[in-house]
Structure 1
Amino acid sequence: MTNYTLSKETRDKYMAVATPTIATALFKRGLRNQFIQDVRPLSSKKANMVGQAFTLRYIPAREDLNQIEVFKNPSHPQRAAVEQCPPGCVLVMDSRKDARAASAGSILISRLQVRGVVGVVTDGGFRDSPEIAELEIRAYHNRPSAPTNLTLNQALDINVPIGCGDVAVWPGDVLVGDNEGVMVIPAHLAEEIADETVEMTAYEDFVLEKVQNGATIIGLYPATSDAPRIEFAEWRKKNGR
């Protein structure tokens, strides 16, 4: 749990950085396992997903406790998560890396979108995946899955620490998703990682331009002498970066 609140300024910074850049910044701090494994976007979109985690945990279903009638309960954890996940946040589901049954479908994901939730992530699968792919909300899963979650997974807890794709996710952690996948940023590091990755992105854009014009990467990437740093400073002034 965290009392951290993601500011608009920090959110905007993450909108302009890529997950590999974030991974490198976290690696410098000893965090090696923050990229959610085997989770992919349902569709490519222009804008990043940036928001704090609101979590849902599934456990293996027990047949006598996980019949269709459980959805009559308005406090059912899956339904409660959809109705309680705050606007601007990301609903993250621990589906035990099991995509044989769906974590949710297009109706629930549409409800999240209408409520202002910016993204949804599961290490399981979604049903109605073609329809979800057409929504504005960013959605990430392992693969399509038609069967209801009731067949294999039992929703148990909301807004508790979970594992998603072999990554620990605490409520309030910052998630950034692009067209490659999703990074999990511990809340207490969110602002400094945002600042650093904005700087890293500017330098990487400078390097890419140099390389595309024929420059060698030796001494340039990473910068191992003053010459590229001086040239980068001039490039930033010229390009307003």
Structure 2
Amino acid sequence: MNFKISFLLLSVVGIMDSQLLYAQTISKEELTFLTSEWKGERFPDGRPKVAESLLERAKKVGIADAWTVLKNEGYTNQYEGNWKTVNDETPVVGRAVTAQFMPSRPDVEKSIVDRGQKVQGRKGASNSWPIDVLTKGDVYVADGFGKINGGTLMGATLANSIFNKSGNGVVFNAAVRDLEEIQTIKGFNAFVRDWHPSFLEGSVLMGLNTPIRMGNVMVMPGDLVIAKREGVLFIPAHLAEQVISTCEFVTRKDKFGFEMIKAGKYSAGQIDSQWNDQLKNDFLKWLGTHPEMGTMTKAEVDKVMSKRTW
């Protein structure tokens, strides 16, 4: 009997500890379930870990090409536009760390802050907590419910902290302050709804590395973020390699096509339709004379041409 009571007590304590551990987050098991199409490496919390090599390749991918691949795979709600940026030249590319902010109410915010600081050992206000979990290559993606006045999720101090932790920028459905100071952080960029001189108030963190909404997009932790001048694309982790490889082929195909059309060897119609073996072989020969464009085997060309989602 005593053994049963002890077992029950330990079970209750275990459940309570688990609830505290996952406060503002979801469990590793739940995140793994929601991103079950991803078969690669994961972070300890279950977030998909897209390889660094893919992140580097993604920096050269065009938004339009990648969007087209996603659309033809059935992913039609992955793009969000209408942003303001620190500059137009610096892309923000990396794995999403997500944060969900909501309008604050005193009782809920007090409970969250007390638990975070006293039980979980978190420091400062809740808007700084997502920064603590950033690693190199991450992009801090936050839904601040579009709040501008009083909705500044970041100023110069937090921007420096974010860049120091991730080497990357942010995407905020909210505002940011201290634009002139942030512009001095070389290599940093922010995609935000607007700039405002106010301090953050009336917002509380309700989700950390959980599914969030960014405009018309459902963003999952670990999604590949590609943010460039024309907008932001959120690519599901399990499609990252396919999207990047296809976009790289499209770039090669376009350059090859321009040269072949100019030389009068092939017409635009031939370049833009399914290729026969002769055209594929000519492409591979051309690729061999352009090492800067990378390499492909005939099998790889056959594969990308057989499922033409671009």
TM over 0.5: yes
What's 1:15 paired with? 59
Say whether 1:146 aligns with 2:197.
yes
The letter of the residue matching 1:99 is: I
Higher relative contact order by CA 8 Å / sep ≥ 6: 1 or 2? 1
Q: 1:213 to 1:173 in 2, by over 3 A?
A: same
Q: Could you report, residue by residue, the CA deviation over 1:77-107 in whole angstroms, capped at 9, with x for unpaired residues?
A: 2111122222220100001123332121111
Segments of 5+ residues of structure 2 without an aligned counterpart are 1-30, 33-41, 43-47, 118-122, 294-310
Which structure carries more helix by proportion?
2
Q: 1:58 to 1:186 in 2, by over 3 A?
A: same
What's 2:129 paired with? 80
Which structure carries more strand by proportion?
1
> Contact 1:39/1:165 (CA < 8 Å) preserved in 2?
no
The letter of the residue matching 1:142 is: R
SS at match of 2:289: helix
SS at match of 1:219: helix
1:103-122 equivalence runs, <5 A: 103-122=153-172
Q: TM-score, normalised by structure 2?
A: 0.66
Question: How far is the alpha carbon of 1:41 from its aligned partner?
Answer: 2.9
> Contact 1:77/1:158 (CA < 8 Å) preserved in 2?
no
> Contact 1:43/1:134 (CA < 8 Å) preserved in 2?
no
Distance 2:54 2:221 in 1: 18
Q: What is the Cα-based RMSD across aligned positions, in Å?
A: 3.2
Q: TM-score, normalised by structure 1?
A: 0.82
Segments of 5+ residues of structure 1 without an aligned counterpart are none
Which residue of 227, 242, 245 corresponds with 1:177?
Answer: 227
1:39-118 equivalence runs, <5 A: 39-45=83-89, 48-62=91-105, 73=117, 74=123, 76-100=125-149, 101-118=151-168
Pairs aligned (count):
237
Which has the larger Rg?
A: 2
Question: How far is the alpha carbon of 1:60 from its aligned partner?
Answer: 1.4
Distance 2:172 2:262 in 1: 37
Say whether 1:193 aligns with 2:243.
yes
- Aligned sequence identity (%): 23
Question: How far is the alpha carbon of 1:209 from its aligned partner?
Answer: 6.3
